[in-house]
Structure 1
Amino acid sequence: MHSYDSVESLIDGERESNIHVECSRPVTMRALDTVRRLYKNRRCAFYLRSDRGFDRDSVRSYLRFFGALSGTRADAETAIDHFGLRPVASKRIGKLDDEQRAMVNFARMSLADPEICFIEYPLGYLGSAARSLTLRWIAEASERGTLFITTGQPLRDALLMPGMAWWMEDDRCIAAQTETGDADGGSPIPGSAQDPQQDDAEPDEVQVVKIVCKSGTTTLLFDPREVDFIESINRANYVSVRGQRYQTALTLDELEAMLERFGFFRCHRSYIVNVQKVAKLERFTRNSYNLTLSDATQSTIPLAKGRVADMREHFGL
């Protein structure tokens, strides 16, 4: 598993790569300081969630100011068109919604013709159309040689951008293990429940188990220890990892058999929980039990009354 001891060592070690990190605000601030230090002699552009622009300026005057400030031949009107800002070009920035402000910031960055772009939570405020415009700009700028370092977004967003996605665990930065395949998922992953050779393995043979999930056209391979719980909703199964859900083609029965030896428990007909992540078992009524987890969002999931005794017996709860 490719990893770095800290976000600082990640940015230093991957200087010529696009980096997208799922992380907290304090880690974002550390990453920002590192980028400023390492790339102080490069042409950089920055966009943080706190960047709101000048409320009294119009979009056009604001972008013209930064276009002149950049010293490049960048044209504010071109940026206005590219980022879909023409309908609000004469509007004061203070009157814009969050998505429009975000697009103004991307337009501002583009005018600098930057070598390095640092962006916090790049896709967080964007709807489908604005997201497409932004991803297109990032891809095109990346092809021209601009390096992108982004932070704060969930892993599923990080995977949409060119470069490598990373997630944090105990201050370590760990590369998201992915496999790009076709819409059908490609060949089975060795050691996964989709691998027909798994059942033929010798009893004493060491097996690597990965949970196969999809995020768009990307196949993700999760270590069981990363998983908080698995749920079945509307005839689809989802694996929850650090507060984000990823769809899997595996059935709950397959997942239960696959993960039981890793400390997972079928707590409800629609849920499998990683018992290591259980922080609290609560009984609200005689027939109502819930499990509260120590995951990123402190999730609460049901515990079926008929499974309470089994859970206590197997795990000493």
Structure 2
Amino acid sequence: MYTITNLEIVQHGHVVVPSFDLTVNEGDFAIIHCSAKQGNVLLHYLHTQRQNKDHITFSQQKQIGYFTLEDTLYERLSVFDNLAFFHNLYNSKTDLNEILSTWGLTSFQSMRYLDLDDSIKRRVLIARAIVHEPSIVILENPYIGVDHETKQLISNNLILYSNRAKAVLLTLSDYDVEPFSLGRQYKMTNTTLVELSNEEALPTPFKKIAAKQAEKTLLFNPEEIDYIEAIDGECLLYVNEQSYVSPFTLQALEQQLVPFGFFRTHRSYLVNLQRVREVMQWTRNSYTVVIAKYPDGVPLAKSKLPLLYETLGIAL
């Protein structure tokens, strides 16, 4: 049994995570619907303050697996070598080849972690979190920024994991995921955590972003879009280093995509934060956000920097 008691997290004088109690038992699948920042701050606390017995009670601290969106692995090691390292570190008795197969990684096992796309990296990171068969696995927003196949794989494997008398606790702020019909679901507001009944379970909004290419209308999932640029009266969607013209204004796209983790870095740019790799300062008043596959980056207005860091849960 994993118990959180009277936990409240305050940053810079503001309550980020309101005071709440939660108990997760063996076989439970618990989902906390919350903002991306709340999920990030909560997971960071649960990971770094796991010995804090005033708020967290769990008899087997070594039997907790964690995944956060900030996690990474040894970039120049292969998938197999990375997982083997943690497998040996924990003296795990699990079959490593079975883990690779379960997470759809067999065909990628000889590739360097550096060379994987974001969806395959996510599979490796979650496999690493449970390679030692922890009694509970705690995950931050595991579905955001990955392809449909990986989302389905995560769902199926976590369900199977909980069915083996293991506990699963995850935060969820990505709306473009498969709906859940099982487990206990909670909604975290600015003031409290409430359990949702089956009738109140949050629906999964359907969202596609349209773009034009010749005579065709293309439809993109929000997580496929790397960033958006407004230029010469048009909005260009950048997807896998290709650009597509959108019929919407940047303001309209911002309203649609903020719930999916997009951020207005500049009057002319809207960025998918899951693609951001670095924030660079060029001059005293000039900043750039570096995005995966786009080493030149996009502008970041100095006035936007504090809000960006607050959104990412990073202290200035």
TM-score, with structure 1 as normaliser: 0.51
CA distance in structure 1 between the partners assigned to 2:117 and 2:124 by the alignment: 11
CA contact (8 A) 1:32 1:118 kept: no
Find the residue that maps to 2:71 and give its secondary structure: coil
Are 2:158 and 1:148 equivalent residues in the alignment? no
* Counterpart code for 1:12: L
Using the TM superposition, give the Cα deviation of residue 68 of structure 1 relative to its aligned residue in structure 2, in angstroms.
1.3
Q: 5 Å matches for 1:15-94? A: 17-23=28-34, 24-34=36-46, 36=50, 37-39=56-58, 41-42=60-61, 43-94=63-114
Larger RCO, structures 1/2 (Cα 8 Å, 6+ apart) = 2
* Letter of the 1:114 counterpart: P
Separation in 2, partners of 1:154, 1:11: 23
Structure 2: unaligned runs, 5 residues or longer: 1-5, 9-16, 51-55, 206-251, 260-316
- Is 1:171–2:191 an aligned residue pair? yes
* Pairing 1:12–2:22 present: yes
- Cα RMSD of the aligned pairs, angstroms, is 3.9
Higher-Rg structure is 1
* Identity across matched positions, percent: 19
Aligned residues between the structures: 194
Give yes or no for contact 2:31–2:184 (8 Å, CA) kept in 1.
yes
**Which structure is higher in strand share?**
2
Runs of at least 5 residues in structure 1 that lack an aligned partner in the other structure: 180-209, 217-289, 298-317
Kindly state the Cα deviation for residue 44 of structure 1 after the two structures are TM-superposed.
Answer: 0.5
Residue deviations 1:218-270 (CA, integer Å, cap 9, x gap): xxxxxxxxxxxxxxxxxxxxxxxxxxxxxxxxxxxxxxxxxxxxxxxxxxxxx
1:89 Cα deviation after fit: 0.9
Counterpart of 1:30 in 2: which secondary structure?
helix
- 1:14–1:62 CA distance, 2 compared to 1 (3 A): closer
From the superposition, tell whether residues 126 and 213 of structure 1 become closer, same or farther in structure 2 (CA, over 3 Å).
Answer: closer
Any conservation in 1 of the 2:78–2:111 contact (CA below 8 Å)? yes
For 2:176 and 2:192, the matched residues in 1 are separated by: 19
Greater share of residues in helix: 1
- Separation in structure 2 between the aligned mates of residue 32 and residue 119 of structure 1, nearest angstrom: 10
| Paired residue secondary structure (1:12) | strand
Counterpart among 121, 127, 135 of residue 107 in structure 1: 127
Compared CA separation, residues 28 and 121, structure 1 to 2 (3 A): same
SS of the residue 1:175 aligns to: strand
Indicate conservation of the 8 Å contact 2:143/2:151, yes or no: yes
**What is aligned with 2:314?**
none
Secondary structure of residue in 2 paired with 1:111: coil
The alpha-carbon distance between structure 1 residues 40 and 171, as it changes in their structure 2 partners (threshold 3 A), is farther
* Distance in 1 between residues matched to 2:191 and 2:175, nearest whole Å: 16
Partner of 1:314: none
Instruction: After superposition, give the CA deviation of every residue in 1:247-298 in whole Å (9 maximum; x if it has no partner).
Output: xxxxxxxxxxxxxxxxxxxxxxxxxxxxxxxxxxxxxxxxxxx9x99xx75x
* Mapped contact 2:178–2:204 kept (Cα < 8 A): no
After superposition, the Cα gap between the structure-2 partners of 1:114 and 1:82, relative to the gap in structure 1 and judged at 3 Å, is same
